[in-house]
A and B are shown apart, each in its own frame.
Chain A
Amino acid sequence: MLAYLLRRIAMTVPTLLLVSIAVFTLMRLIPGDPVQLMLGEGADPAQLELARQQMGLDQPLVTQYVVWLRHALTGDLGVSTTNGLAVLPLIWERFHVSAVIVLTAVALASLIAVPAGLVAAWRKDRPTDLAIIGAATLMLSVPSFWLGLLLLMFFGQYLHWLPVVGYVPMSEDFSQGLMYVILPIVTLVLVETGVLTRMSRASTIEVLRLEYVTHARAKGVPESQVLRRHVLPNAFNPTLTMIGLILGHLLSGIAVLETVFTLPGLGRLMIDSIFARDYPVLQGCLLFTACIYVVINLIVDMCYPLFDPRVSVQ
């Protein structure tokens, strides 16, 4: 088991390396003078010359990469050209906002979707199943930014129950902060529950076909226990994979919701940096997001053996 974990962790290192190379290459491909891009429009020639030397732009590309990588590993991702703040702390702060919303929403969605999928598969092709699957299909067809907009229109503009713009972190004022995140969380939950329910239902149907389920019934095990102890642990794995995928997808997809609800999150930071041509921040966001995704996949992979003892033997 330990060997499996160690091996899996070791495998992330080359991936992270390749990711850093990809980000570096991407940034170098942006048309324009790299120094100008790094320092912004208003820099004067002397500063540009200094930066050119500092960045070692006369050096071969590989050396530049190594220098950049060394900086990145110590936490120095440069400085924003719009407001001069250090990039990494800025990203980290914004990440908190996005993370709270994404993690809460995915957790809630999973808690609803997994049992819903289970029940739908159990009562396959009967009214309960059709209702659940119908609702799920509708939910996953609605684009999240439109749903967010509609909810905002209804609860914010029309009913005046919730604020339309602005943000207060919950660490400062819990109840106020809650007001601002409720709608985005609800929107995400509605959209992601659809996808997860479908996945959960499909994998449960697979497992219900298998003989050990019939065997459990043949022993006289009550149906609820069959579902809970025999079906669920086996059906969970594909859903776990899907949760990992969704978390990753939302790392960048959250940008649209943050735009609708004007939240100061990581997605908005990235979009703003694109428009403002703030390339240090953009580079930092790309690197950070990709690395977090690799870590998420690692955690998901490490969760598999908890549910399926066969995995670590491979």
Chain B
Amino acid sequence: MTHPNSSAAPVLSVRHLKIDLHGGAQTLVHDLSFDVRPGEFLAVVGESGSGKTMAARAILQLLPPGIAQSGGQIVFDGEDLSTRDVKAMRPIRGPGIGMVFQEPMVSLNPVHRIGEQMAEGLRMHTKLSAAEIRARCLDMLRRVQIADPERCLHAYPHEFSGGMRQRIMLASVMLLKPHLLIADEPTTALDTLSQREVLDLMVGLAKDQGTAVLLITHNLGLVGRYAQRAIVLEKGKLVETGDVPAILVDPKQPYTRKLVDALPRRQAAKPAPAAPQQPLVQVRGLCVSYPGARAGFFKRHAPVQVIDQLDLDIHPGEMVALVGGSGSGKTTLGRAILRLAPSHAGQILFRGDDVRRADRAALHRFRLACQLVFQDPFSSLDPRMRVQEIVAEPLRHLPALDAAARGKRVHETLDEVGLDGLGARYPHELSGGQRQRVAIARALVRRPAFVVADEPVSALDMTIQAQVLRLFQSLQAHHGFACLFISHDLAAVEQIADRVVVMERGRIVEQGPRDAVFDQPSHAYTQALLAATPRPLASLAESVPRPSEKVFA
């Protein structure tokens, strides 16, 4: 990356920016000042509520209704943008400053063809002929590695995956050769491999055109890999500025240190059990498929094989991590093992009994001993039930416990997850991290032998993620349940797993103890995943928290 010329005038200079909600009712950004130098890659880091997205939108005057800039200047090219009215902003938007958004699914208009949408910007800001415009679009699509660019121009957005749409969006924005590119969490909604592709492309294109990049992100790993400088925001205030990697290795401010500490780090592997144990769960030859899409009037395409002849063992007390990109089948596997998704061949043995074909009584016993923690903390809790009712519900099926015993168990479990005193609240009154802890409490209240955790921390902020991961680890160590931890985030897996299983397109391509898989991956897919995951602190190690130590004292 070309080193930015620090003596040249900054491309963008934000001075004392203040953003308010509803004319002063609440301040979202306080007195923010920072510079972006020409050709530089600056990362703006913060968790939700830090005001980073609002600050970025304010630059282009794209704030949502009800939110407005109430003070400060935004100096671009020697002029304060905040003095321009909306119409005067038009020449800046696009050729001056370009912006890429987070959600690839809704950032392209579904009713217009790709070619039309890409050409729109060029038609508006340049005087090129139609043929010229088409040539440039094709060129840029090739640059972002879209196969068959001609067909792409003619196609509609819904025909492409999230990663491809994000690349098209990038192409569309960079076509106008902006001086500054603002990227607001551009890869958060993508899977690991796509993430790397898109960001590498972004950096490459920016280098070619000499565009400065302002990357808004909550992922410190990405900051470590791509940024040259970073600023940290907390609750609308600037906390620290610094060069990368210095700011990550030696943070000066307590908040920054908290963020860096929240990065998952590998811990000493657990000692192997004395005697080899019988596996708790054994999967043999499992097959799951979905019917094919419609083809014509009466026919259907061949069925899609989601999981193909899969074998897997999970031992008691073991934390097995299941990783893979999107479409690998890992979520389906988790659900199929718990019989929440139908499978059509194979065996699922739990404590020696086949539960795949079991009758209702056997299935019920199976359900009593296993549980699932869902990914989405918002939709996995019934909005009409209080926290204690949610956690108490599974105890319906333990007739041995009377009302008093149940109350006690609920209270204990809530205490363990650090939610004591919040039993009477409703889910919408809790934060994302708290809701996820309720989901964990619900899963653990019956003291199950086996828990499947489906991306339990993916939807959470960095520091909350770290808390919940540590909680999960300590609970597992304390109660000794076996766990199948499904995740696309290899960094989180590195901290928590005993064994790692890598899936690609419905098959297991590699498995083994965590250290072996991470340090000497043998399969190409594993290597690609590892290379795509930013892990700035891979070498640090820390002691395992003691089982009796509560994470929230």
Per the bound structure, the CA–CA distance linking A55 and B278 in Å amounts to 80
Which residues of the other chain, A, contact B294 by a CB distance below 8 angstroms?
A: 3
Contact of B125 among A217, A220, A309 (CB under 8 A): A220
Q: Is B91 an interface residue (CB 8 A)?
A: yes
B95:A220 contact, CB within 8 angstroms: yes
Which residues of the other chain, A, contact B86 by a CB distance below 8 angstroms?
A: 223
Most A C-beta atoms less than 10 A away, residue of B89, B93, B95, B169: B93
A214:B62 contact, CB within 8 angstroms: yes
Which chain A residue lies CB-closest to B295? Answer: A3
Contact of B110 among A7, A221, A309 (CB under 8 A): A309
Q: Is A29 an interface residue (CB 8 A)?
A: no
A220:B101 contact, CB within 8 angstroms: no
Q: Is A154 an interface residue (CB 8 A)?
A: no
B109:A212 contact, CB within 8 angstroms: yes
Q: Is A138 an interface residue (CB 8 A)?
A: no
Contact of B106 among A210, A218, A310 (CB under 8 A): A210
Q: Is B420 an interface residue (CB 8 A)?
A: no
Given contacts A212-B107, A212-B109, contact A220 B121 (CB under 8 A): yes
Q: Is A41 an interface residue (CB 8 A)?
A: no
A310:B120 contact, CB within 8 angstroms: no
Q: Is A94 an interface residue (CB 8 A)?
A: no
Which chain A residue lies CB-closest to B109? Answer: A212
Q: Which of A110-118, A164-172, A226-234 interfaces with chain B?
A: A226-234
A215:B110 contact, CB within 8 angstroms: no
Which residues of the other chain, A, contact B93 by a CB distance below 8 angstroms?
A: 217-220
Question: Separation in Å of the A274 CB from the closest CB of chain B?
Answer: 43
Contact of B120 among A6, A221, A307 (CB under 8 A): A221
A211:B158 contact, CB within 8 angstroms: no
Which chain B residue lies CB-closest to A306? Answer: B111
Mark B115-157 against chain A: 1 for CB-CB distance below 8 A, else 0: 0000011001100000000000000000000000000000010
Q: Is B92 an interface residue (CB 8 A)?
A: yes
B111:A215 contact, CB within 8 angstroms: no
Q: How many residues of B contact A (CB 8 A)?
A: 37
Most A C-beta atoms less than 10 A away, residue of B87, B91, B95, B294: B294
Which residues of the other chain, B, contact A6 by a CB distance below 8 angstroms?
A: 297
Q: Is A73 an interface residue (CB 8 A)?
A: no
Most B C-beta atoms less than 10 A away, residue of A210, A211, A215, A217: A215
Question: Separation in Å of the B94 CB from the closest CB of chain A?
Answer: 4
Q: Is A249 an interface residue (CB 8 A)?
A: no
Which residues of the other chain, A, contact B101 by a CB distance below 8 angstroms?
A: 211, 214-215
A221:B124 contact, CB within 8 angstroms: yes
A220:B92 contact, CB within 8 angstroms: yes
A217:B62 contact, CB within 8 angstroms: yes
* 230-276 of chain A: CB within 8 A of chain B: 230, 233-234
Number of A-B residue pairs having CB atoms within 8 Å of each other in the complex:
79
Per the bound structure, the CA–CA distance linking A113 and B99 in Å amounts to 34
Q: Is B257 an interface residue (CB 8 A)?
A: no
Question: Separation in Å of the A31 CB from the closest CB of chain B?
Answer: 46
Q: Is A222 an interface residue (CB 8 A)?
A: yes
Mark A80-114 against chain B: 1 for CB-CB distance below 8 A, else 0: 00000000000000000000000000000000000
Which residues of the other chain, A, contact B98 by a CB distance below 8 angstroms?
A: 218
B107:A308 contact, CB within 8 angstroms: no
Contact of A220 among B90, B111, B172 (CB under 8 A): B90
Contact of A309 among B65, B87, B158 (CB under 8 A): B158
Q: Is B103 an interface residue (CB 8 A)?
A: yes
Mark B32-68 against chain A: 1 for CB-CB distance below 8 A, else 0: 0000000000000000000000000000101001000
B65:A124 contact, CB within 8 angstroms: yes
Q: Is B112 an interface residue (CB 8 A)?
A: yes
Per the bound structure, the CA–CA distance linking A214 and B172 in Å amounts to 14
Per the bound structure, the CA–CA distance linking A7 and B294 in Å amounts to 12
Which residues of the other chain, B, contact A7 by a CB distance below 8 angstroms?
A: 297
B297:A220 contact, CB within 8 angstroms: no
Given contacts A3-B297, A220-B121, contact A215 B158 (CB under 8 A): no
B106:A219 contact, CB within 8 angstroms: no
B106:A212 contact, CB within 8 angstroms: yes
A313:B158 contact, CB within 8 angstroms: yes
* 423-457 of chain B: CB within 8 A of chain A: none
Mark A176-218 against chain B: 1 for CB-CB distance below 8 A, else 0: 0000000000000000000000000000000000111011111
Q: Is B338 an interface residue (CB 8 A)?
A: no
* 163-206 of chain B: CB within 8 A of chain A: 169, 172-173, 176
Q: Is B296 an interface residue (CB 8 A)?
A: yes
Which residues of the other chain, B, contact A234 by a CB distance below 8 angstroms?
A: 109-111
Which residues of the other chain, A, contact B156 by a CB distance below 8 angstroms?
A: 309-310
Which residues of the other chain, B, contact A211 by a CB distance below 8 angstroms?
A: 101-103, 106-107
Q: Is B108 an interface residue (CB 8 A)?
A: yes
B108:A212 contact, CB within 8 angstroms: yes
Which residues of the other chain, A, contact B120 by a CB distance below 8 angstroms?
A: 216, 219, 221
Which residues of the other chain, B, contact A216 by a CB distance below 8 angstroms?
A: 109, 120
Question: Separation in Å of the A217 CB from the closest CB of chain B?
Answer: 6
Which chain B residue lies CB-closest to A218? Answer: B99
Contact of B62 among A3, A212, A218, A229 (CB under 8 A): A218
Per the bound structure, the CA–CA distance linking A215 and B172 in Å amounts to 11
Question: Separation in Å of the A10 CB from the closest CB of chain B?
Answer: 8
A309:B106 contact, CB within 8 angstroms: no
Per the bound structure, the CA–CA distance linking A234 and B157 in Å amounts to 14
Per the bound structure, the CA–CA distance linking A215 and B120 in Å amounts to 12
Question: Nearest 5 pairs between A and B by C-beta?
Answer: A220-B93, A220-B94, A220-B90, A219-B121, A212-B109
Cβ contacts A to B, 26 pairs, < 8 Å: A3-B297, A7-B297, A124-B65, A210-B106, A211-B102, A212-B107, A214-B62, A214-B101, A215-B107, A218-B99, A219-B93, A219-B120, A219-B124, A219-B172, A220-B92, A220-B95, A220-B121, A221-B120, A221-B121, A221-B124, A222-B87, A230-B109, A307-B111, A308-B111, A310-B110, A310-B158
